A and B are shown apart, each in its own frame.
Chain A
Amino acid sequence: MTANMPINQIGLEKNYYRGAISTLCKGCGHNSVANQIMLACFEHNIPPEKIVKFSGIGCSSKSINYFLNRSFGFNGLHGRMPSLALGALFADTTLKGLGVSGDGDTASIGMGQFKHLVRRNIPMVYIVENNGVYGLTKGQFSATSEKDLKIKRQGVNPYLPIDICMEALAAYGTFVARSFAGDPQQVKSLVKAALSHDGIAVIDIISPCVSFHNLENSIHSYTWGKDHESPLHELTFVPPREEITVEDFEKGGMREVVMHDGSMIVLKKLGTDYDPTDRSSAFCMLAEAEKKNWLVTGLIYVDPKSPSLIHNFDLPETPLNRLSSDRIRPAPETLDLINKSLL
């Protein structure tokens, strides 16, 4: 054990949660997000072996290799991570899925799979590192690029952008949040809350691309994000069985959401009192933010009670992938009965 290295409640060092060294550009928002995912898992006291990482294709998808080396991970196909994750998570339902995707991977090629994953309410955290551009292919428009954006060699973007949170809400997402890579504390709190959610937890993180899309006037840049970020609330995650210390919160200025596992999200009012458990308010808020050109961040919607897909199946306690052969092959006499019944 390294001296002075912090240890979490399950006795694991922070180092235990590390990944490979990032090969992304210096200053890439994705690196910051990867770091916060690692810290969130560490502070949330989840053994990395209980997490399975998934991704598609793109810069964002590479980043799952940069945290949680001790978790299984699968960097699959462009836009097709949701189906891969769904199948894999049935093998052992004690595992938590953690997917990282990008705006191209989710909102362009993967829109269909993304929305069906959301509607099925798979228990996994689904993070979109949204930079409004195709980085790995060196700077083309993505489905979340804003209209009239100019990019070198591409010209002017003629299409309206897709709002990933709006899509997730429309698909009956049970946990929908937005954050900004330049706000690491919020990213971390949201990831922790998402890990406690028993269902799909979508976090759309604006994560600037420093190489191809960090123009000051663009909504996916650091400068714009810093100037226009408008948090819905200050957000604190309280793990299960831990007392809330309310010193940081003004009385009456808080809203609490109790999660499935007994943990709690404490939301401190900022200006207006936004209720993240009301789906129609969430739609209105997103529409208003778009109109006013605000980058609204925080927990947009949560339904902590909606059962995840796993609950539709009456599965044994032993994970399916550990069932011995005698539990998955019916006895010989059953086949005799079937043979007699076929006409």
Chain B
Amino acid sequence: MTNLLMENFIPAKRQSIINDFAITLSTINGSGSATANMTLVRALFLMGIPVSAKNIFPSNIQGLPTWFTIRCSSSGFLGRVEMDDIVVTMNPAMFQDELKQVISGGVILYADDLKKPEGRDDVILYPMPVKKIVQETDISQQLKGYIANMVYVGVLAELLSIDLNMIFQALEYHFNNNQKAINSNFQVIQSAAMWTKANLEKKDPYSVVPMNNNVNKIMTNGNTAAALGSIYGGVQFVSWYPITPASSIPEEMNIYLPKLRKDPLTGKETYVVVQAEDELSAIGMVTGAGWAGLRSMTATSGPGLSLMSEYLGLAYFAEVPLVIWDVQRVGPSTGLPTRTSQGDLSSAQYISHGDTEFILLLPGNMEECFEFGWRSFDIAERLQTPVIVLSDLDLGMNHWISEPFKYPEKPIDRGKILWEKDLDEWLLSKKHEWGRFMDVDGDGITYRTVPGNLHPKAAYFMRGTGHNEYGGYSEDPQEWEKLLARLKQKFITAKSLGLLPDPQIEVNQNAEIGLILWGSTELAIKEARAILMAQGVNTDSCRVRSLPLDDSIGDFLNKHRRNYIVELNRDGQLHQLLKIRFPETTTQLVSLAHVDGLPVTAKWIMRELRIAEEKIL
């Protein structure tokens, strides 16, 4: 296990580097840079090049540094990289810091009113006359401040051979055919490109050429995918409280619901969205709606999930189906509100007091954010229990290439619900009364009625206290134990019905090392595994996609002498859960956990893996 450590996975030759580099755009937030940055990303996507974009932003509205990293990779490795090939800096405050982020032989583009950077003779420097180009364009003074960032779009386009037609298309998309905005932005881009052609001598090796990687692909973010998935899952009630990085789930729903969810029969709205006064209330509304027979959900992040723990205990105990999206950020406490982590796994699985357990779904890509959006409702209603989907900021808010979303392959499953005629049939066929908590099928899941059912035998009294099969108050020791055992049994039923997403396992020949992962780390792991393989080290991987943990994960762990569990938290939370669930494999498990607020890189994984392997061997 030597020589595992290497730089970004790029071809060795440096004379010409095509479609394999990372650009970081260092700007000030609130300056309109998001439009410029996304224009570049979309143009590269339209050129058919595998591209990803990650925004590192502050918890602030205007005036603090923000970084936007675009990675092109001809091999499709689109995880985060630690060093940049190209840095564009528009922010004087961060100039010296940016210098440290560029690889040797890389490029720095800087607004020429900034002091020329010093201390890096090994990088190529290009000054950009941002103010001059903006002043010379024929646009209103008012708009000039916002449009300055388009200068670097034009300079980069010329330097890297990004197709200006694609840039124009990207502007058309962004400005939704607002011709004035498209033209004024494009004018700046063109001027900057022309200036570059005439004035800058290209000394760097970087460029792009069109590929056909993106045919039929989409570019999206996990929160949009989650919103759309939930809409196709028939969501009927949404309540939420604003929190980064989850707010864009309900916000996207507010955009798409009116377009997609008019009742085909009456043209009326088949959904309700209510912004609550806090997370306590949001989950309360969602619990009420779920109890009353609506497909209901909320979206939040760690601090909100903590507030929701009280109601989640009730919803678990009262067997209320509902869905929570936790788009994880860095905790504990307010933590790093605009940075990513996988820190809520342990707390989410057993959240709230007493004996509880929750179904967790762990999407790892855009398609799964969509799929778990609809599937979570089927699982919640079938099992009559809350489902928590753990996404994270990296999945939720960054920009990912994806296969198109797939229409649900299964019809909607509303679970065991009885309306008036069902209750009549029950009373005829079963020859005994219906009880809300009567386990007639022996699978732990009982039949429910919901308010509005006018059958005289339909109503029952729901309570968060001990109850018998009919919902009547009970402090009877045996009834209590029976009730808790039945709640537990539902989780076994979940497995036997195959309701939960299986772990995704990828195997190579003769691999001794297993990599265990969940969620957004998939791209970095793929890259790390490919490099290891090129160096003759075969690995297998197992991506956990739901909890409770499936038996097949234990089989995977047993097959490997060493299993590295990669996750973005301090304590190795999945590692801990694996040790509890599969104690016989404990000595074969090694935790590779860290959290610094940033998405994991292939480089970090390989470095840590090498250190761990050297210790062992």
B442 contacts A by Cβ under 8 Å:
no
Which stretch in B231-239, B382-390, B495-503 binds the other chain?
B231-239
Give A58-84 as 1s and 0s: 1 = Cβ < 8 Å from B's Cβ atoms.
000000010001111111110010111
Q: How many residues of B contact A (CB 8 A)?
A: 78
Closest B residue to A87 by beta carbon equals B288
Q: How far is the CB of B187 from chain A (nearest CB, A)?
A: 22
A327:B264 contact, CB within 8 angstroms:
yes
A95 contacts B by Cβ under 8 Å:
yes
Complex contacts, B412 vs chain A, CB 8 Å: 325, 328-329
Give A298-326 as 1s and 0s: 1 = Cβ < 8 Å from B's Cβ atoms.
00000000000000011111011111011
Give A274-290 as 1s and 0s: 1 = Cβ < 8 Å from B's Cβ atoms.
00000000000000000
Q: With A91-B289, A327-B270, A332-B407 given, is the CB distance from A82 to B232 under 8 Å?
A: no
Q: How far is the CB of B59 from chain A (nearest CB, A)?
A: 25
A75:B465 contact, CB within 8 angstroms:
yes
Contact of B289 among A48, A88, A343 (CB under 8 A): A88
The answer for the CA separation of A193 and B226 in the assembled complex, in Å, is 44
Q: How far is the CB of B396 from chain A (nearest CB, A)?
A: 15
Q: How far is the CB of B452 from chain A (nearest CB, A)?
A: 3
The answer for the CA separation of A84 and B310 in the assembled complex, in Å, is 13
B277 contacts A by Cβ under 8 Å:
yes
Complex contacts, B239 vs chain A, CB 8 Å: 83, 87
Which stretch in A220-228, A242-250, A334-342 binds the other chain?
A334-342
Complex contacts, B408 vs chain A, CB 8 Å: 329
A86:B456 contact, CB within 8 angstroms:
no
Contact of B405 among A50, A69, A326, A338 (CB under 8 A): A338
A94 contacts B by Cβ under 8 Å:
yes
Complex contacts, B294 vs chain A, CB 8 Å: 87, 90-91, 320-321
A88:B268 contact, CB within 8 angstroms:
no
A113 contacts B by Cβ under 8 Å:
yes
Complex contacts, B284 vs chain A, CB 8 Å: 76-77, 80, 82-84, 86-87, 113
Q: How far is the CB of B276 from chain A (nearest CB, A)?
A: 7
A90:B237 contact, CB within 8 angstroms:
yes
Q: With A91-B452, A329-B234 given, is the CB distance from A113 to B281 under 8 Å?
A: yes
Q: How far is the CB of B466 from chain A (nearest CB, A)?
A: 12
Contact of A343 among B45, B311, B453 (CB under 8 A): B45
Closest B residue to A52 by beta carbon equals B451
Closest A residue to B214 by beta carbon equals A343
B463:A75 contact, CB within 8 angstroms:
yes
Give B286-322 as 1s and 0s: 1 = Cβ < 8 Å from A's Cβ atoms.
1111111111100000000000001100100010000
A116 contacts B by Cβ under 8 Å:
yes
- Most chain B CB within 10 A, of A72, A73, A89, is at A72
B175 contacts A by Cβ under 8 Å:
no
The residues in B between 257 and 290 inclusive whose CB is less than 8 angstroms from any CB of A are 260-261, 263-266, 268-270, 272, 274, 276-278, 280-290
The answer for the CA separation of A342 and B369 in the assembled complex, in Å, is 15
Q: With A322-B452, A334-B260 given, is the CB distance from A343 to B272 under 8 Å?
A: no
B285:A86 contact, CB within 8 angstroms:
yes
A92:B292 contact, CB within 8 angstroms:
yes
A161 contacts B by Cβ under 8 Å:
no
A326:B264 contact, CB within 8 angstroms:
yes
The answer for the CA separation of A116 and B275 in the assembled complex, in Å, is 11
The answer for the CA separation of A313 and B170 in the assembled complex, in Å, is 36
The residues in B between 219 and 266 inclusive whose CB is less than 8 angstroms from any CB of A are 219-220, 224, 228, 231-237, 239, 256, 260-261, 263-266
B263:A316 contact, CB within 8 angstroms:
yes
Complex contacts, B277 vs chain A, CB 8 Å: 112-113, 116
A273 contacts B by Cβ under 8 Å:
no
Closest A residue to B449 by beta carbon equals A72
Q: With A335-B405, A342-B224 given, is the CB distance from A87 to B452 under 8 Å?
A: no
Q: How far is the CB of A52 from chain B (nearest CB, A)?
A: 5
Complex contacts, B462 vs chain A, CB 8 Å: 72-76
A271 contacts B by Cβ under 8 Å:
no
B456:A87 contact, CB within 8 angstroms:
no
Closest A residue to B414 by beta carbon equals A325
Complex contacts, A50 vs chain B, CB 8 Å: 454
Q: How far is the CB of A275 from chain B (nearest CB, A)?
A: 32
Q: With A113-B277, A339-B405 given, is the CB distance from A74 to B234 under 8 Å?
A: no
Complex contacts, A47 vs chain B, CB 8 Å: 454
A327:B280 contact, CB within 8 angstroms:
no
- Most chain B CB within 10 A, of A83, A327, A334, is at A83
Q: How many residues of A contact B (CB 8 A)?
A: 55
Contact of A113 among B224, B280, B407 (CB under 8 A): B280
Give A39-62 as 1s and 0s: 1 = Cβ < 8 Å from B's Cβ atoms.
000000001111010000000000
The answer for the CA separation of A13 and B442 in the assembled complex, in Å, is 38
A11 contacts B by Cβ under 8 Å:
no
B285:A84 contact, CB within 8 angstroms:
yes
Q: With A74-B291, A83-B284, A90-B237 given, is the CB distance from A323 to B270 under 8 Å?
A: yes
The answer for the CA separation of A110 and B486 in the assembled complex, in Å, is 32
Q: With A77-B284, A77-B314, A87-B296 given, is the CB distance from A317 to B452 under 8 Å?
A: no
A86:B288 contact, CB within 8 angstroms:
yes
Closest A residue to B273 by beta carbon equals A313
The residues in A between 201 and 225 inclusive whose CB is less than 8 angstroms from any CB of B are none
Q: With A49-B454, A80-B280, A335-B232 given, is the CB distance from A85 to B268 under 8 Å?
A: no
B450 contacts A by Cβ under 8 Å:
yes
A330:B261 contact, CB within 8 angstroms:
yes
B295:A328 contact, CB within 8 angstroms:
yes
Q: How far is the CB of B353 from chain A (nearest CB, A)?
A: 12
Complex contacts, B404 vs chain A, CB 8 Å: 339
The residues in B between 498 and 525 inclusive whose CB is less than 8 angstroms from any CB of A are none
Closest A residue to B399 by beta carbon equals A343
Q: How far is the CB of A251 from chain B (nearest CB, A)?
A: 44
Q: How far is the CB of A278 from chain B (nearest CB, A)?
A: 28
- Most chain A CB within 10 A, of B219, B277, B405, is at B277
Give B473-485 as 1s and 0s: 1 = Cβ < 8 Å from A's Cβ atoms.
1000000000000
The answer for the CA separation of A342 and B274 in the assembled complex, in Å, is 26
Give A87-131 as 1s and 0s: 1 = Cβ < 8 Å from B's Cβ atoms.
111111011000000000000000011001000000000000000
B233:A329 contact, CB within 8 angstroms:
yes
The answer for the CA separation of A338 and B450 in the assembled complex, in Å, is 34
> Which residues of B come within 8 Å of A, CB atoms?
42, 45-46, 170, 173, 218-220, 224, 228, 231-237, 239, 256, 260-261, 263-266, 268-270, 272, 274, 276-278, 280-296, 310-311, 314, 318, 404-405, 407-408, 411-412, 414, 419, 449-454, 456, 458-465, 473
In the A-B complex, the 7 residue pairs with the closest CB atoms: A83-B284, A87-B288, A91-B292, A92-B452, A321-B293, A87-B285, A328-B234
A-B contact pairs, 30 of them (CB 8 A): A48-B459, A49-B453, A49-B458, A65-B473, A72-B451, A72-B461, A73-B460, A75-B463, A80-B280, A82-B284, A83-B283, A83-B284, A83-B287, A87-B284, A87-B290, A88-B291, A113-B280, A113-B281, A317-B268, A319-B452, A320-B236, A321-B236, A328-B234, A328-B412, A330-B231, A330-B261, A335-B405, A339-B404, A342-B219, A343-B42
> Which residues of A come within 8 Å of B, CB atoms?
47-50, 52, 65, 69-77, 80, 82-92, 94-95, 112-113, 116, 313-317, 319-323, 325-330, 332, 334-335, 338-339, 342-343
